[in-house]
């Protein structure tokens, strides 16, 4: 077998015979890495070069003549996870689960295996852990099903043969970075290996209608290790997020061919495994009898879930020429913009203040609807005056200081009222168009300085 040296783009998988500073495929800079690959013999019937991939009938058809079968969804045993999958895991789909080491990927998947084993044979392929390690985890999680089969292997050819022999309904691969094709000379985890192994698993899933879950490691940048084309090849990409020293985990869908990509699920990592959190807002709100300055409440929407969160801010005199701006859970550029608006439009002297903003619970929020709550938390800390803990702030702030409309307005308002909050400050025009009766008091504001005036003069 002869070998060649080629260059791959880590972002999109573009292949070149020479190194390029800028990728012609995705325009990324410095993304090319060198790989040694071997010329394949194409012995495998599921090789990525196999021309008849998804059907035995490769004829051209009219789009109107194609009959669409209703997708079959399978219950994972967790309502939170089902929602992230779009209503349950789709039969015959290829799914990628990513997360940092120790975040709970293998624990959650083992629990899912236990629930899926009631519907058919589950083949658990491990390339990282021995059978003893996997058995110890199963015992800790009280997984005892006879329908779960274990196979300790990293060679994709052997895995294909075993799948042909067993014909499982479900297949788990832990992890994709340990699997290799012996006809490719590069090491396991390299770009060419990850691409080829994932392609062959995809063909197995589609041809044999085997529901497959692949576990992947993430890099220090928080993305799946390997080429970004890996995420393009699979049907669903889910990340498990969370701080290692906190118990809760956020399961977030970032790609879903069968549903919304905005859904999240919340779990608690406990000794008995992952446990669903039914009332999501509980973990993002501080249960404190003291009403301290520098806190504000906001309602954010993640998919179909409305979550109330607490934003905390701290302002303190800076002893440096360039004051610090630290943002945890929000975009730092967004924080700098809001501080500039508060200085310009509200005449607050924040240029001499170090400003720290944190979203409680380790959640990251990127939607602009949290602008007003961030600004009010900063003002509360700066003035050292507390805000009523039963008050919620909703609104995007423009560069001129105006409070702009937000999406999912009615949904947020109803959830806030249901949870017992008494006052809501938000865009005045949206309040005028809101006709439903709720227990909470709606106060309309047109600008950030008007909001500050009403909060501290009421």
Q: Which of 60-69, 151-160, 286-295 has the highest mean pLDDT?
A: 151-160
Flag whether 188 is in a domain.
yes
Q: Where are the beta strands (DSSP E) in 153-241?
A: 170-174, 211-217, 236-241
User: Which of residues 69 and 396 earns the better pLDDT score?
Assistant: 396
Same domain (yes/no): 244, 185: yes
Report phi then psi at 309, rounded to 5: -130, 155
Flag whether 186 is in a domain.
yes
Is the pLDDT confidence value at 16 over 90?
no
Flag whether 66 is in a domain.
no
Domain limits at 217? Answer: 72-276
Same domain (yes/no): 272, 291: no
Q: What is the pLDDT of residues 380-404, one digit of tens each?
A: 999 999 999 899 999 999 999 999 9
CATH of the domain at 231: 3.40.50.300
Same domain (yes/no): 222, 291: no
Flag whether 57 is in a domain.
no
Is the pLDDT confidence value at 49 over 70?
no
Same domain (yes/no): 179, 236: yes
- The pLDDT of residue 44: 54
Same domain (yes/no): 359, 428: yes
Same domain (yes/no): 113, 12: no
d(CA 40, CA 59): 27
Same domain (yes/no): 114, 252: yes
- Domain count for the chain, please give it: 3
Q: What is the pLDDT of residues 163-205, one digit of tens each?
A: 999 999 999 999 898 999 988 877 787 777 888 899 999 999 9
For 314, which DSSP code? E
Q: What is the reported pTM? A: 0.74
Same domain (yes/no): 334, 380: yes
d(CA 342, CA 270): 43
Is the pLDDT confidence value at 161 over 90?
yes
**Sign (positive or negative) of CA dihedral 188, 193, 198, 204:** negative
Flag whether 309 is in a domain.
yes
> Which of 364, 373, 367 is CA-nearest to residue 393?
373
Flag whether 46 is in a domain.
no
CB 138 within 8 A of CB 126: no
- Show which of 218, 253, 276 is a domain's final residue: 276
Flag whether 259 is in a domain.
yes
Same domain (yes/no): 265, 321: no
- Show which of 221, 251, 276 is a domain's final residue: 276
User: Which of residues 374 and 282 earns the better pLDDT score?
Assistant: 374
Tell me how crowded residue 141 is: count the other CB atoms within 10 A of its CB: 18
Mean pLDDT of 110-121: 94
């Amino acid at each position: 077998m002869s070998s060649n040296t080629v260059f791959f783009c880590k972002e999109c998988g573009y292949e070149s015979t020479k190194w390029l500073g800028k990728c012609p495929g995705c325009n990324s800079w410095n993304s090319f890495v060198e790989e040694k690959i071997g010329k394949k013999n194409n012995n495998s019937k599921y090789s990525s070069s196999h021309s008849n991939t998804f059907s035995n009938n490769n004829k051209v058809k009219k789009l109107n003549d194609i009959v669409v079968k209703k997708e079959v969804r399978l219950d994972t045993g967790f309502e939170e996870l089902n929602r992230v999958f779009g209503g349950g895991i789709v039969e015959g789909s290829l799914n990628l689960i990513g997360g940092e080491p120790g975040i709970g990927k293998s624990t959650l998947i083992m629990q899912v295996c236990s629930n899926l084993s009631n519907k058919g044979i589950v083949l658990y392929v491990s390339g990282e852990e021995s059978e003893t390690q996997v058995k110890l985890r199963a015992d800790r999680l009280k997984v005892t099903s006879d329908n779960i089969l274990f196979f300790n292997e990293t060679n994709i050819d052997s895995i294909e043969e075993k799948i042909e022999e067993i014909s499982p309904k479900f297949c788990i691969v832990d992890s994709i970075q340990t699997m290799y094709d012996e006809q490719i000379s590069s090491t396991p985890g390299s770009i060419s290996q990850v691409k080829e192994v994932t392609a062959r698993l995809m063909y197995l899933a589609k041809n044999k209608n085997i529901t497959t879950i692949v576990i992947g490691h993430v890099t220090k940048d928080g993305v799946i290790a390997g080429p970004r084309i890996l995420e393009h090849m699979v049907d669903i990409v889910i990340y498990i997020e969370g701080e290692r020293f906190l118990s809760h985990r956020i399961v977030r869908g970032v790609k879903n061919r069968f549903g919304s990509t905005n859904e999240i699920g919340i779990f608690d990592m406990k000794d008995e495994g992952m446990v669903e959190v039914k009332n999501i807002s509980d973990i993002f709100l501080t249960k404190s009898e003291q009403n301290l300055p520098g806190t504000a409440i906001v309602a954010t929407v993640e998919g179909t879930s409305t979550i109330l969160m607490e934003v905390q801010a701290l302002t303190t005199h800076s002893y440096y020429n360039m004051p610090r701006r630290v943002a945890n859970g929000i975009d730092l550029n967004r924080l700098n913009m809001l501080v500039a608006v508060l200085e310009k439009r509200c005449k607050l002297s924040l240029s001499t203040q170090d400003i720290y903003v944190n979203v409680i619970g380790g959640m990251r929020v990127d939607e602009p609807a949290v602008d007003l709550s961030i600004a009010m938390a900063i003002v509360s800390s700066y003035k050292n005056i507390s805000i009523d803990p039963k008050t919620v702030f909703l609104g995007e702030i423009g560069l001129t200081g105006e409070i702009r409309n937000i999406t999912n307005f009615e949904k947020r308002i109803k959830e806030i009222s249901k949870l017992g909050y008494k006052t809501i400050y938000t865009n005045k025009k949206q309040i005028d168009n809101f006709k439903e009766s709720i227990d909470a008091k709606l106060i309309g504001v047109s600008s950030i300085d008007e909001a500050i005036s009403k909060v501290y003069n009421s």
